[in-house]
Amino acid sequence: MQALFGRGSASGSEDEHHWLSVSDLMAGLMMVFLLISIALMRHALEVRENVTQVAETYQETQVAIYQALLDEFADDLDTWQAEIDADTLALTFKSPEVLFATGSAQLRPRFKSILKDFYPRYLNVLTPFHDSIDEIRIEGHTSSRWNSRVSEDTAYFRNMQLSQDRTRSVLSYLYDLPETQQQKSWVQQTTAAVGLSSSHLIKNAAGEEDAESSRRVSFRILTNAEAQIREILTEVDS
C-alpha cells in the first residue's frame, strides 16, 4: 500500500512539475508579448513625435515665408492689384486687363514691367528658405468661358491650353532676366509652369462664377514638409 501510495505521490509530483513548467512557459510568453507591445508603442510614439515636429516646423516656416513676402511687397500689392495668401503662400496677380489680352498668351507691357520689378526681389526673399522649398508653381487660371459656339468641355480644354501657354510665357520672360541667371540652377530645379484652366474658379457671394476675378496668375510656394512626412512613414513601413 505504501509503495502504491508512494508511486501515487511521485506521480502527483510529476504532474505538479509538469503544470509548473507550462505555467512558467505561459508567463514567459506573456512577458515576451508585453515587451513587444511596449516596443511597438514606443516606436509609434517616436513616429508621432517626428511627424509632430515636422508639422510644427512646417507651420513656423509657413509663417516666416509669409511674413518675409509681406515685408517685401506690402507697399506694392495695391499698385500691382495683387494679394498674398497666408495659407497657400500664393502671391496672386488679380487684374486680367493688366496680364494678357483676351484669348492671348502674350504678356502685356504693364505685366512685364511688374514682373521685372517683382521677380528678382521674390528670389531674394526666398533665398534663406531654399532648404524648405520643394516647388515654386506659376499657376495660370482662366474663367470657364470661351465663346457660345463651343461646348463646355471644349471650352475647358481650350482654356487649359491657354492657361498653360500663359504660364510658359511668364516663365520664359522671367528666365531671361539677368537676376534669374544668377540663380538659374535653383530656378530650374524648383519652378514649374502650371495651367489650371477653370478648375479653381473664384465665386461671388451668391456662389456664381466671377469671370474677371477667375482670370489670374499666382506664384505659389510648396514647402517640403509633406515629403518629409512621407519619408518618415516610408521608414515605418519598411
The confidence score (pLDDT) of residue 202 equals: 95
C-alpha Rg value of the chain to the nearest Å = 32
The confidence score (pLDDT) of residue 17 equals: 54
Residue 39 one-letter amino acid: A
* Confidence (pTM): 0.74
The backbone torsions φ and ψ at residue 57, rounded to the nearest 5 degrees and listed phi first, read: -65, -40
Cell of 136: 515654386
**Rounded to whole angstroms, how far apart are CA atoms 210 and 234?**
42
Residue 197 one-letter amino acid: S
Cell of 99: 496680364
**Rounded to whole angstroms, how far apart are CA atoms 28 and 64?**
54
The confidence score (pLDDT) of residue 24 equals: 67
Q: Which pLDDT tens digit goes with each residue over 48-91? A: 666 566 567 677 888 999 999 999 999 999 999 999 999 999 99
**Rounded to whole angstroms, how far apart are CA atoms 125 and 18?**
76
The confidence score (pLDDT) of residue 152 equals: 92
The confidence score (pLDDT) of residue 13 equals: 55
Cell of 61: 516656416
**Rounded to whole angstroms, how far apart are CA atoms 222 and 170?**
19
**Rounded to whole angstroms, how far apart are CA atoms 196 and 78?**
25
Low-confidence ranges of the chain (pLDDT < 70): 1-26, 28, 43-55, 57, 226-238
- Rounded to whole angstroms, what are the CA distances from 57 to 50, 60, 91, 223, 226? 11, 5, 22, 11, 11
